[in-house]
Amino acid sequence: MNWAYFWSLFSISLHAMVPITLTAVGEVIGESAGLFNIGLEGILLLSAFTGTLGARAGGPLLGLAVGLFTGLGVGTIFGLICAYWKGNQMIAGVGINLFALGFVAFGLQVLGSPGFYTVPREAKLPPIRTEVGAFSPVIIVALILPFIVHWLLNHTRLGLRIKAVGENPEAADVAGIPVELTQLLSTAVGAALAGLAGAYMSVSWLGSVTKEISAGRGFIALATVVFSGLRPLLALAGGVLFGFFESLATWIQSLPGVKEVVPWQFISMIPYVATLLVVAGVIGRVRFPKGLGVPYRRE
Amino acid sequence: MRRIGVGLRPLLESVLAGLIGLGVGAIIMRAWGYNPWPAYMALFKESFGSGYGLANALANATPLILTALTFAVGARAGLFIIGAEGMMYMGAMAAVAASFFRLPSGWHALFALLGAALAGMVWGLIPAVLKAYRGVHEVISTIMFNWLAHFFAFYLVANVLVDPIRAEKTISVAKTSRLPILFRGTDLSFGIAVAVGLAFLFYLLLWHTVAGYEIRAAGANPHAARYGGVSPRRTVLLVFILGGMAAGLAGAVETMGRPPTYAVYSGLTNIAGFGFDGIGVAMIGRIHPLGIIPAAIFYGGLQAGARLMQMEAKVPFEMVRAVQGAIVLALALPELARLFRVFVRRARFQEKKT
């Protein structure tokens, strides 16, 4: 056992942290405005796929942009259904997830590779090479963004309005804040971040798309939001934590001699068990907006 | 209709949502350069145009009815159980493992079915306890348990239940433990009777017993139910137990009643997805145990037909799952039918203006 092993754990963690953090921070915005989107998993999956198509057509940056806009588009549909048409947020979220499962499986088949597609080398986002290893530039975005969102939610008028809509839509409505529009924009922007996260996974980090690429990360991000109690900086901490557990599973499997003792399937369970334990541990100590998950109807 | 708890409007909404879903499917096919008409023609001709196709539609519907019941009984109590997938894996594992025992024909199948129901139930109980005693949201816990089941089943298939001759699958279910095939040459097994029977049992339980009344009361108005003396914890546990049993049985019918191999393949390829599809089926069936039966036949038919569609029109069959997602999205809208009427009226109004 030498330093190189630990260094690789750090490096994987840093990369695994990104999709969970971006998705969770986005969902913090949406939930602050009162919309609970369980379709994040589907958005990750969809944008991982569309991002690949974009990258193939016009390079990695276009790929990331296409992923972002995929998230924005799906988020807008979700916002229309849930904010304007008072739809059931849970059901709409499940609909997004099911749609993504089918659409991506269908799309991969059309690309001519059942269930698996490798992003061409020239379409991959080039990593930043340093003396200590290669890192994806998106990591920087994931590290800075929580601070921006923190500032936005807690120190601007816009943030106050978003939180007012989530906490007490009636009062916000009376105060002249457009409730539906605020909810729609918040959830759409949040979903756009999930879209960026999805594209990051295929175009930058993993370099391939599969039907299982999201691997529950959308739901782990939801757990991170629970953990954070809707505070963006804690969402970053949660993202780092869950990213670490995910990497731990990958890392342990890479250690010599482990596979012979513990079957890989059990090591792969680590991030999911960790998520359950963390969520079971923090619940009861966090408080959510009163209007979360309930469609607002003007009386 | 009032007596069995459904009205005409939910039916209309489901049909409408179905049409919206098929429309979205057509748009997707168009966008990727396929011609939707012949594709849909092939699809429906196959699934509902012949006795053979219909039998296979029913065979596909069998596990879907059961996993949809899991979601429906939870939704009636106000819980969003999306863990049928994992519970179903555990049921399938138990049903295969039951073949390690030797029992007389018939009894063996009953033993395996009970074992599968028990396995699904146990798998459902842990998220139930987490929900009831720690307040862990069931969406997060059941998804995590789906992944745990996924890896656990991977392990069992590759190491414990593996076929010594063909390593890509588990041992086949023993002949004494198989569910009889109803029509020769099709996949339709006695499992359909199990599924439909359980749907009727769930219906009787939900609408004609006190426990069922309490479940529905907890879903309709948790505060009022609690005030009325319904224990929220007991409701959560009961709903997960019922749902786990149904999903466990889904795994059993998919292994004990699926010729030709009566086994689970590595990667779980032949059992994966039924749990998630069950959510859509439950939604189309308006989370009503009896509504689920036609909804499952509709969706099972789509699946059966999609295989032919893939052969004839070269459209990948996964398309139908995207269609299902769009249907569920449409069903998220409250009073879909009313919205539709508003749209029509508005369109007419604009026609008059111009």
Q: What is the CATH number of the domain that holds B204?
A: 1.10.3470
A107 within some domain? yes
Same domain membership, residue B320 and residue B285:
no
**B residues 280..309 contacting A (CB < 8 A):** 280, 283
Amino acid at B230: V
Q: Which residues of B touch A283 (CB under 8 A)?
A: 134-136
Longest alpha-carbon distance in chain B: 78
B211 touches chain A (CB under 8 A): no
Q: Which of B80, B327, B329 sits opposite A96 (nearest CB)?
A: B329
B40 within some domain? no
Closest CA to B198 of B100, A287, B190, B279: B190
Residue A162 — very low, low, confident or very high, per pLDDT cuts 50/70/90? very high
B260 within some domain? yes
Residues of chain A with pLDDT > 70, as a percent, come to 97
A22 within some domain? yes
DSSP annotation string for A241-288: HHHHHHHHHHHHHHSTTTTTTS-HHHHTTHHHHHHHHHHHHHTTS---
| Burial A94-108, CB ≥16 within 10 A → b, else e | bbbbbbbbbbbbbbb
Q: Which of A98, A263, A284 sits opposite B325 (nearest CB)?
A: A98
Same domain membership, residue B223 and residue B97:
yes
Measured between alpha carbons, how far is B203 from B287 in angstroms, rounded to an integer? 11
B324 touches chain A (CB under 8 A): yes
Q: Is A292 helix (H, G, I), strand (E, B) or coil?
A: coil
The two structure tokens encoding residue A15: 């990369």
**Tokens 């009427």 belong to which residue?**
B341
Mean pLDDT across the stretch A27-36? 94
Task: Classify residue A206 by its DSSP letter.
Answer: S
Q: Which residues of B touch A110 (CB under 8 A)?
A: 32, 316
Asked whether the beta carbons of B71 and B84 are under 8 A apart, the reply is yes
B125 within some domain? yes
Same domain membership, residue B302 and residue B253:
yes
Which chain B residue has its CA at the smallest distance from A263's CA? Answer: B155
Q: Which residues of A touch B141 (CB under 8 A)?
A: 276, 279
Count of alpha carbons within 13 angstroms of residue A241, beta-carbon side: 22
Rounded to the nearest angstrom, the minimum Cα separation between A4 and chain B is 29
Same domain membership, residue B69 and residue B18:
no
Which chain B residue has its CA at the smallest distance from A262's CA? Answer: B155
**B residues 87..146 contacting A (CB < 8 A):** 130, 134-137, 139-141, 143-146
Measured between alpha carbons, how far is A189 from A185 in angstroms, rounded to an integer? 6
Asked if B325 lies within 8 A of A96 by C-beta distance, the reply is yes
Same domain membership, residue B319 and residue B303:
no
Asked if B279 lies within 8 A of A276 by C-beta distance, the reply is no
Measured between alpha carbons, how far is A261 from A259 in angstroms, rounded to an integer? 5
pLDDT > 90? residue A70: yes
Same domain membership, residue B199 and residue B70:
yes
Domain span at residue A22 reads 3-282
A294 within some domain? no
What's the pLDDT tens digit per position in A216-254?
A: 899 999 989 988 889 999 999 999 999 999 888 888 888
Measured between alpha carbons, how far is A37 from A78 in angstroms, rounded to an integer? 8
Longest alpha-carbon distance in chain A: 66
Q: Which residues of A touch B328 (CB under 8 A)?
A: 91, 94-95, 98-99
| Cα-Cα end-to-end distance for chain B | 43
So what's the pLDDT on residue B163? 87
Range in A89-93, A179-183, A248-252, A279-283 the model is least confident about: A279-283
Q: Which residues of B touch A279 (CB under 8 A)?
A: 136-137, 140-141
Per-10-residue mean pLDDT of chain B, 354 residues long, equals 61 85 88 83 80 88 96 91 95 94 90 96 94 87 93 92 87 89 87 95 94 88 84 92 97 91 86 89 90 92 81 78 86 69 62 56
So what's the pLDDT on residue B291? 92
So what's the pLDDT on residue B1? 44
Same domain membership, residue B122 and residue B61:
yes
Domain span at residue B25 reads 7-34+315-354
Rounded to the nearest angstrom, the minimum Cα separation between B154 and chain A is 7
A43 within some domain? yes
Q: Which residues of A touch B135 (CB under 8 A)?
A: 283-284
Rounded to the nearest angstrom, the minimum Cα separation between B242 and chain A is 21
So what's the pLDDT on residue A290? 76
Same domain membership, residue B166 and residue B189:
yes
Measured between alpha carbons, how far is A284 from A286 in angstroms, rounded to an integer? 6
Measured between alpha carbons, how far is B279 from B285 in angstroms, rounded to an integer? 10
Residues of chain A with pLDDT > 90, as a percent, come to 49
B117 within some domain? yes
Rounded to the nearest angstrom, the minimum Cα separation between A14 and chain B is 22
**Tokens 């699926």 belong to which residue?**
B258
* Number of structural domains chain A divides into: 1
Same domain membership, residue B325 and residue B192:
no
pLDDT > 80? residue A158: yes
So what's the pLDDT on residue B17? 87
A183 within some domain? yes
Measured between alpha carbons, how far is A114 from B34 in angstroms, rounded to an integer? 18
Rounded to the nearest angstrom, the minimum Cα separation between A291 and chain B is 17
Same domain membership, residue B198 and residue B278:
yes
* Number of structural domains chain B divides into: 2
Whole-Å CA distances, B30 to A109, A266, A294: 16, 43, 37
| Interface size, chain A vs chain B, as Cβ–Cβ contacts under 8 Å | 149
Same domain membership, residue B341 and residue B256:
no
So what's the pLDDT on residue B348? 64
- CA angle (A297 as vertex; A286, A99 as ends), nearest 5: 70
What CATH number is attached to the domain comprising A142?
A: 1.10.3470
Task: Classify residue B170 by its DSSP letter.
Answer: B
Whole-angstrom Cα Rg for chain B: 21
Rounded to the nearest angstrom, the minimum Cα separation between B110 and chain A is 31
A191 within some domain? yes
Asked if A268 lies within 8 A of B151 by C-beta distance, the reply is yes
Residue to substitute from B284, B333, B341, B342, interface A, most A β-carbons within 10 A: B333
How confident is the prediction for chain A on average, in pLDDT?
89
Q: Which residues of A touch B286 (CB under 8 A)?
A: none
B1 within some domain? no
Q: Which of A81, A105, A265 sits opposite B152 (nearest CB)?
A: A265
Same domain membership, residue B329 and residue B257:
no
Range in A97-101, A267-271, B23-27, B340-344 the model is least confident about: B340-344
Q: Which of A88, A89, A102 sits opposite B318 (nearest CB)?
A: A102
Q: What are phi and psi of B299, to 5 degrees?
A: -75, -40
Asked if A219 lies within 8 A of B140 by C-beta distance, the reply is yes
A38 within some domain? yes
